[in-house]
Structure 1
Amino acid sequence: MAPRDGHAHPSLRIALLLLCAAAGGVETVSFIGLAHVFAGVVTSNFALLGMAVGSGSAVDVTAAVLALAGFGSGLTIVAIYTRGTASTTASWPHRVLLVLVVETFLLGLSALAWGLTDGSPGEALRDVLQCGVAAAMGMQSAAMVAAGKTASPTTYLTGSLATYVVKGLGGGKQGLWVPLRVTSLIAGAALSAALLREARGWALGPSVVFLLCALAAACTPLTRMRDGRSGWPGGRRSRRSPRR
């Protein structure tokens, strides 16, 4: 998918980078810490499912199915909820922001469960967590589609990177936002991987923090618009001397 955030508000661009970092952390925990499947990279999970079927591994088949089911559920629910949502060039729709709030809550519960087991959940909880984090990534993916032209993919960047390279080699002028999103995803993944090695129970924590910060950044344009309509430009009421 081609990048669509070329004219986004700076705060929304920051939100996109933070969402990419959150996704990188979730993918790391999902693949390394849970069952060696991805939470939001559906193409890879279909391939992993095929490999598991071909090798006759029931455990791997279950993990891939749970990840695909979770992602598909999150994607479908948000698609229905945001259907008909009108996007603007100044801010993300309220329904998109609410979806991100729910995603943060879901991922926060997952992080809590992960932490309480010190990053070593039992088989049943591991399956629940696998489905849960995949659902969170499905929600995030659908929310970015519903956000319109001021958003871009944050859970999978293959299309964005391919478009960036092809257009760049074709002589088109390319910005830095695609490389920055890729870098953010790598940074989020690296941080969670380090925590899995050194402090396993905290590995999902950074993704929750990144999501909270992304929400704060995404709400900034709405706050400024509201302040402007209420006569509080820049957050301070303008004072005018009464006419005499």
Structure 2
Amino acid sequence: MIQIEQISKKYKGSDNFSVSNLDLFIQEKEIFGLLGPNGAGKTTLISILCSLIKPTSGSFSINGLTYQKHKNQLKQLIGIVPQEYALYPTLTAFENLKYFGSMYGLKGKSLDNKINAALEHLGLLPFANKPIDTFSGGMKRRVNLIASILHDPKVLFLDEPTVGVDVQSKNVIIGFLQDLNKKGTTIIYTSHHLNEAESFCTRVAIIDHGKIITKGKPAELINEHHGTHNLEDVFLRLTGKALRDHA
């Protein structure tokens, strides 16, 4: 589904590459986790794959489509759930979703029905006509997610989809994503919640300093590194325990 070949990105004014000569292949219907410390290059890589920024060098394709030749088709193919809320606070949940659905050319009763079904699935239907700025963090996360999947994307990119939410909201979000995956959506997921990633992802890649330092099924990675008991142990062994604060 996704083929990445020798992708590099160096931002203007930076001394170092955020992503460096990265190769990666992601199969159709995978739930693939991109894991790494702060500043490792995860968000840069996702931004490249979503055609939000251009790579300095290298190439990628999604479902056989390239940014150079199929930019508009690529945008129809993917959904993006950003880490920050991408919602209009004074509009209601339904109004937000109606607007985002219209951006993908969806309209009429079919769009209304799709919005209502998703709101119900995620426990938000009773709040459909409430302004977003009255919602809790977990409720906003769920509306954010719905906005990204109304056009039935083949690939869904998730940047920290459960950050700052309660256990109940996290459980509902993960269940919803697993249902989407069973229906055929390929999911690319980044998170600092390594226990969540261990149980949620079919495969993961750990990125540090813009390079993939290991990849595979979570259980296989744990078995490969003697003395580790979970994915967090593997992560710390490979990336170290030093703080990665950056600004």
Q: Which has the higher strand share?
A: 2
Task: Tell me if both proteins adopt one fold, taking TM over 0.5 as the criterion.
Answer: no
TM class, shorter-length: under 0.3
Q: Which has the higher helix share?
A: 1
Of structures 1 and 2, the one scoring higher in RCO (CA 8 A, sep 6+) is: 1
Q: Of the two, which has the highest radius of gyration?
A: 1
